[in-house]
Amino acid sequence: MKKTGIKKIIINGIKCLLTEDHQKHLIPTKKYKHRYSLRHNEIDWTEPITVERFVFANWFGDILSPVPLLKEEEYKPIESWSISE
């Protein structure tokens, strides 16, 4: 399998694609149409805590989602997440 630096991740029950590399820009596809950023806590940078439209400080990674994760809100707390196989 080719190493791309892109991981499969489940955010709040939704299967998404994740990159933790600032140099690897995710481009939306037909399946994964929605792009978001994840923010980590200032003290614990090992876990994402929110999904946001854009994150500058405390950036955890970027994701592509098959469904919209945000509507009118600027961010949404992450209730559960895991790396998918």
pTM of the model as a whole: 0.89
> What pLDDT does residue 23 have?
78
Per-residue pLDDT of the chain (85 residues; tens, 9 = 90+): 345 689 999 999 999 999 998 777 888 999 999 999 999 999 999 999 999 999 999 999 999 999 999 999 999 999 999 998 6
> What pLDDT does residue 26 have?
87
Alpha helices of 1-85 — where are they, by DSSP H? none
> What pLDDT does residue 22 have?
79
Cβ contact 18:65 at 8 Å? no
> What pLDDT does residue 1 have?
38
Residue among 34, 33, 35 at smallest CA distance from 25:
35
Distance of CA 29 to the CA centre of its chain: 15
- Half-sphere exposure in the Cβ direction for 62 (13 Å, CA): 17
